[in-house]
């Protein structure tokens, strides 16, 4: 992606030096990482669990405790080294993320405007190790997530190394896809899709909720594709960029991840979609650039 020299978003909150994620903040819902919880009914918990760790097999026990978890082969526990000085204030990774975020702002502002709507930029919080959001606390192990409660995307950029080294999804546009997917959840939040999902989620059993979650996640993939479509029109995609995103979508499909981590698949537990589905919806958004092609909420997926 030809991102250098382009506008960088001001909506980055750099919390990588640590501390900020753990202090203050009354009234926030804390996810008891490492502890046991029952099937708590908190909507915030549900949302966090649905949206956090979007690339993993979404086994809630990995977030809600229960030990071992097995998020990924090789442990993937919390990233604890946090010297506070190892991260330059304005390193290249931050510039890249800020540029991609700016591109999503421009694209979605335009799309919303064309529908007579106003897009509100999300914030993107860079963190290291652990972070507190309006959706509760989360560790890096949960992966990037979007919190509807505070309109923020949370990203520990060490995830990108994991994406590359553990999951075999390399390239800057694989990373851009991750960001665009999370921004896709923000779009769902602004357009009311997410609150509709939460209403429908009430009264569903786990298997039904998982199926609904897949539809929500595939739509975020499709929205990422829509963003990539318009980004491509700007002439800043390089040869092979979109293939990097497609490859990432393949590598983080529920079936592929489950095969990799546990050796077998449990379709009822899928909550982000199969590799095939994720690629299909990402490609669908990319091809047309039309939101109307991203209706994953009804019909076959």
Given the rule CB under 5 A, which residues bind Zn ion? Answer: 54, 217, 220
Output the smallest distance, CB 175 to Zn ion, in A: 15
- Of how many residues is the chain composed? 301
Question: Among residues 82 and 215, whose Cβ is nearest to Zn ion?
Answer: 215
Output the smallest distance, CB 268 to Zn ion, in A: 19
* Partners of residue 15 on adjacent β-strands: 127
Output the smallest distance, CB 53 to Zn ion, in A: 9
Token pair of 143 as six digits: 């992966």
Question: Among residues 220 and 257, whose Cβ is nearest to Zn ion?
Answer: 220
Answer for the pair 55, 168: CB distance below 8 angstroms, yes or no. Answer: no
Residues 6+ apart with CB under 8 A from 230: 107, 110, 111, 289
> How many C-beta atoms surround the C-beta of residue 227 within 10 A?
28
Answer for the pair 59, 269: CB distance below 8 angstroms, yes or no. Answer: yes
> How many C-beta atoms surround the C-beta of residue 153 within 10 A?
27
Question: Among residues 87 and 224, whose Cβ is nearest to Zn ion?
Answer: 224
Output the smallest distance, CB 80 to Zn ion, in A: 25
Question: Among residues 6 and 123, whose Cβ is nearest to Zn ion?
Answer: 123
* Partners of residue 139 on adjacent β-strands: 130
Question: Among residues 54 and 167, whose Cβ is nearest to Zn ion?
Answer: 54
Give exposure, 29-42, as e/b (b: 16+ Cβ within 10 Å): bebebeeeeeeeee
Output the smallest distance, CB 185 to Zn ion, in A: 6
End-to-end CA distance of the chain: 30
Question: Among residues 76 and 148, whose Cβ is nearest to Zn ion?
Answer: 148
Output the smallest distance, CB 187 to Zn ion, in A: 12
């Amino acid at each position: 992606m030809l991102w250098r020299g382009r506008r960088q978003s001001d909506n980055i909150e750099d919390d990588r030096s640590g501390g900020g994620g753990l202090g203050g903040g009354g009234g926030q819902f804390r996810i008891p990482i490492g502890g046991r919880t029952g099937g708590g009914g908190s909507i915030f918990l549900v949302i966090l669990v649905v949206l956090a760790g979007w690339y993993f097999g979404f086994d809630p026990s990995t977030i809600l405790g229960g030990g071992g978890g097995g998020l990924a082969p090789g442990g993937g526990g919390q990233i604890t080294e946090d010297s506070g000085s190892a991260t330059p204030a304005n390193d290249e990774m931050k510039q890249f993320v800020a540029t991609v975020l700016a591109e999503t702002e421009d694209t979605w502002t335009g799309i919303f405007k064309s529908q007579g709507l106003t897009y509100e930029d999300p914030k993107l919080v860079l963190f290291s190790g652990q972070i507190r959001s309006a959706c509760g606390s989360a560790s890096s192990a949960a992966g990037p997530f979007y919190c509807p409660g505070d309109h923020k995307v949370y990203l520990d950029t060490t995830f990108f190394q994991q994406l590359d080294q553990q999951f075999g999804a390399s390239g800057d546009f694989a990373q851009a896809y991750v960001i665009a997917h999370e921004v896709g959840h923000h779009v769902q939040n602004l357009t009311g899709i997410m609150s509709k999902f939460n209403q429908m989620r009430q009264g569903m059993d786990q298997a039904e909720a998982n199926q609904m979650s897949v539809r929500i996640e595939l739509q975020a993939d499709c929205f990422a594709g829509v963003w990539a479509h318009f980004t491509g029109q700007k002439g800043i995609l390089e040869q092979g960029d979109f293939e990097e995103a497609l490859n990432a979508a393949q590598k983080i499909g529920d079936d592929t991840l489950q095969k990799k981590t546990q050796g077998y698949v449990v379709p009822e537990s899928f909550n982000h979609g199969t590799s095939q589905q994720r690629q299909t919806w990402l490609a669908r958004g990319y091809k047309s650039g039309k939101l109307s092609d991203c209706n994953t909420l009804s019909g076959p997926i």
